[in-house]
């Protein structure tokens, strides 16, 4: 994807550039908050709409799944019609559909609304990082701008539960969707005045076949992960994986043969770029999976209100922002990959702390673990995102941005789909539903901890206590395997980063040459 940029000269003043950054942070904050705010509303949604456990996961996952599947395609479209224009279209559509989602009458309608939100969300994200890359020509200013961008994304993921908790204390669960409106209105007002338009002056034609191939790669893959984890392996799970792999192979071949590819595959031949993408992906997998579990443990096991549960994440969110911006100074004394490695080790340490505390997982233990994890995420992702945009020539900045943001969103999907389904599987295996319940009550209580809590409200005190005690124990039985998996994967990412940066003294020292097509 070519991303040569025709930027209006009005963006050249430093003050205007920083004002533009403030505007561009709004969609970043929205998408990050949206990744996690719904997790804290799930108990309320479960009690109101009574979705099955797979449907609960779809309510969370379908947004990020559609968004991740379309990011590269929307990045290519933004190159052609203008990144700011695409940002405006996405913001308007997202605000309208958010209002519709807030009043969804059933779980099925809510899943559909979330999917449409993913469509418009895909228009928002590809523009932000590539616009920052073009607005800030100075390397040090760009690094600080990217540090702020990354800190807003990681901190926004943690602030989502706080915003959601505060809203759920006083309003219907639909309020978590309405929060998008006040965030996006300033963007619609100020972006045309402050953010310079940016587009490819000589774009190639949009390739509908590549768009379709990107969809048939991503959608079956995540569906297979979700379905296989919940229902076990089957022929249709295998078929979905085969479709995904075949589409990916055809997609890669088509991009390599195209004079104007949607995605330049040669970017992945540069090890620092590829390892930074993987580090972003795995750290988000862990962060989103952690929040998915913690949100339910705090409310349904420890009995906290939504607001109290959200406030538990506040120290980690604040320290994540401080770490993300503070590491810019550390790069005067340390190589970028060293900071990334330490950050990933801290992420892994956060999971192993949860593992150590699993038999007495109190609020204090969760706060301590989340602080360590969030400092690691904030520090590592500032540097990985700067590495991603700095390790490719300016004309490839749009492609690099789209890949980086795809890693974020795919990580959100996989984090909930894999770690969330592991928790569900352990719950279903270990819960002991008391005798004497109706068939519907037995099914609901055996499906998820949210269902058990809802059923317990209609039971005699002794039966309700036995059900809840069993449900709490069954839910927490998934702590050990998920913590081990997430912690180990993050350590592997740290090792890959260390290996990838061997002999690289600075970012871009061995960047790939421009494709010769």
Q: How confident is the model over 420-441, as pLDDT tens digits?
A: 777 777 888 888 888 877 787 8
Q: How many CA atoms lie within 13 A of 457 on its CB side?
A: 8
Q: In this structure, are 244 and 176 located in the same domain?
A: no
Inside any domain, residue 517: no
The confidence score (pLDDT) of residue 245 equals: 93
In angstroms, the CA 340 to CA 377 distance is 9
The confidence score (pLDDT) of residue 116 equals: 93
Angle at 275 between CA 274 and CA 280, to 5 degrees: 100
| Domain of 226, in residue numbers | 208-257
The confidence score (pLDDT) of residue 212 equals: 87
Question: How confident is the model over 45-102, as pLDDT tens digits?
Answer: 877 887 776 777 778 778 877 877 787 778 777 777 788 888 899 999 999 999 999 8
- Rounded alpha-carbon distances, angstroms, from residue 111 to 62, 217, 384: 7, 21, 32
Angle at 369 between CA 365 and CA 370, to 5 degrees: 115
Q: In this structure, are 424 and 311 located in the same domain?
A: yes
pLDDT at 507 over 70: no
Tell me the three-class secondary structure of 274-325, residue by residue: HHHHHHHHHHHHHHHHHHHHHHHHHHHHCCCCHHHHHHHCHHHHHHHHHHHH
Question: How confident is the model over 296-354, as pLDDT tens digits?
Answer: 788 778 888 777 877 887 888 788 888 878 777 777 787 777 888 888 999 899 989 98
CATH number at residue 378: 1.20.1250.20
Inside any domain, residue 417: yes
pLDDT at 1 over 70: no
Inside any domain, residue 123: yes
Question: How confident is the model over 31-48, as pLDDT tens digits?
Answer: 777 766 776 677 788 778
Torsion of CA 98, 99, 102, 103, to 10 degrees: -140
Angle at 400 between CA 396 and CA 403, to 5 degrees: 145
The confidence score (pLDDT) of residue 239 equals: 93
pTM assigned to the model: 0.74
In angstroms, the CA 345 to CA 342 distance is 5
Q: In this structure, are 187 and 222 located in the same domain?
A: no
In angstroms, the CA 335 to CA 28 distance is 27
In angstroms, the CA 340 to CA 369 distance is 19
Q: In this structure, are 90 and 106 located in the same domain?
A: yes
Neighbours of 439 (CB within 10 A): 7
- Rounded alpha-carbon distances, angstroms, from residue 230 to 55, 226, 237, 425: 11, 6, 11, 6
In angstroms, the CA 26 to CA 42 distance is 24
Question: How confident is the model over 237-295, as pLDDT tens digits?
Answer: 899 999 999 999 999 899 888 877 777 787 787 777 888 888 888 887 877 777 777 87
The confidence score (pLDDT) of residue 204 equals: 67
Q: What residue spans of 104-207 are helical by DSSP H? A: 107-135, 139-170, 175-178, 180-194
Reduce the DSSP state of residue 89 to 3 states and report it. helix
In angstroms, the CA 188 to CA 4 distance is 25
Inside any domain, residue 2: no
What is the total count of domains within the chain? 2
In angstroms, the CA 228 to CA 151 distance is 34
Inside any domain, residue 35: yes
Q: In this structure, are 240 and 346 located in the same domain?
A: no
| Of the candidates 301, 354, 365, the residue with the CA atom closest to the CA atom of residue 480 | 354
Q: In this structure, are 226 and 340 located in the same domain?
A: no
- Among 235, 257, 279, residue at a domain's last position: 257
Inside any domain, residue 3: no
Q: In this structure, are 56 and 132 located in the same domain?
A: yes
**Averaged pLDDT, 102-123:** 89
In angstroms, the CA 33 to CA 45 distance is 18
Q: How many CA atoms lie within 13 A of 434 on its CB side?
A: 17
- Rounded alpha-carbon distances, angstroms, from residue 27 to 180, 194, 432, 475: 9, 15, 44, 34
């Amino acid at each position: 994807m070519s991303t040569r940029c025709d930027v209006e000269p009005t963006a050249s003043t430093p003050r205007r550039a920083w004002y533009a950054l403030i505007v561009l942070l709004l969609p970043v904050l929205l998408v990050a908050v949206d990744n996690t705010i719904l997790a804290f509303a799930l108990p309320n949604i479960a009690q109101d709409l009574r979705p099955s456990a797979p449907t609960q996961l779809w309510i969370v996952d379908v947004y990020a799944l559609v968004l991740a599947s379309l990011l590269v395609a929307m990045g290519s479209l933004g190159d052609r019609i203008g990144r700011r224009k695409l940002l405006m279209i996405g913001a308007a559509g997202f605000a309208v559909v958010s209002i519709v989602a807030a009043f969804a009458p059933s779980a099925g309608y809510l899943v559909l609304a979330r999917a449409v939100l993913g469509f418009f969300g895909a228009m928002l994200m590809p523009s932000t990082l590539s616009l920052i890359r073009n607005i800030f020509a100075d390397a040090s200013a760009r690094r600080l701008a990217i540090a702020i961008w990354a800190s807003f994304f990681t901190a926004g993921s943690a602030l989502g539960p706080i915003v959601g908790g505060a809203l759920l204390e006083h309003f219907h669960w639909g309020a978590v969707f309405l929060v998008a409106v006040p965030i996006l209105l300033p963007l619609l007002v100020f972006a045309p005045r402050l953010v310079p338009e940016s587009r490819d002056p000589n774009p190639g034609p949009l390739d509908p076949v590549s768009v379709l191939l990107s969809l048939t790669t991503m959608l079956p893959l995540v569906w297979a992960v979700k379905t296989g984890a919940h229902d076990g392996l089957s022929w249709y799970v295998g078929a979905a994986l085969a479709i995904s792999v075949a589409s990916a192979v055809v997609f890669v071949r088509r991009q390599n043969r195209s004079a104007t590819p949607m995605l330049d595959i040669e970017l992945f031949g540069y090890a620092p770029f590829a390892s930074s993408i993987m580090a972003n992906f795995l750290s988000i997998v862990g962060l989103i999976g952690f929040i998915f579990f913690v949100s339910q443990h705090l409310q349904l096991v420890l009995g906290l209100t939504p607001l109290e549960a959200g406030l538990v994440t506040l120290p980690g969110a604040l320290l994540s922002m401080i770490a993300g911006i503070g590491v810019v100074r550390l790069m005067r004394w340390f190589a970028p990959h060293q900071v990334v490695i330490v950050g990933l080790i801290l992420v892994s340490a956060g999971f192993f702390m949860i593992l150590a505390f699993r038999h007495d997982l109190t609020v204090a233990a969760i706060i301590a673990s989340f602080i360590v994890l969030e400092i690691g995420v904030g520090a590592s992702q500032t540097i990985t995102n700067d590495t991603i945009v700095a390790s490719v020539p300016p004309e490839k900045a749009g492609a690099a941005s789209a890949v980086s943001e795809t890693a974020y969103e795919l990580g959100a999907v996989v984090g909930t789909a894999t770690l969330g389904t592991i928790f569900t599987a352990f719950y279903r295996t270990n819960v002991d539903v008391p005798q004497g319940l109706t068939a519907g009550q037995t099914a609901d209580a055996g499906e998820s901890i949210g269902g058990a809590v809802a059923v317990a409200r209609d039971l005699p005190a002794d039966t309700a206590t036995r059900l809840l005690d069993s449900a709490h124990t069954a839910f927490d039985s998934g702590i050990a395997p998920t913590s081990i998996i997430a912690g180990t994967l993050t350590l592997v990412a740290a090792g890959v980063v260390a290996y990838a940066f061997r002999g690289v003294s600075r970012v871009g020292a061995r960047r790939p040459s421009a494709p010769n097509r």
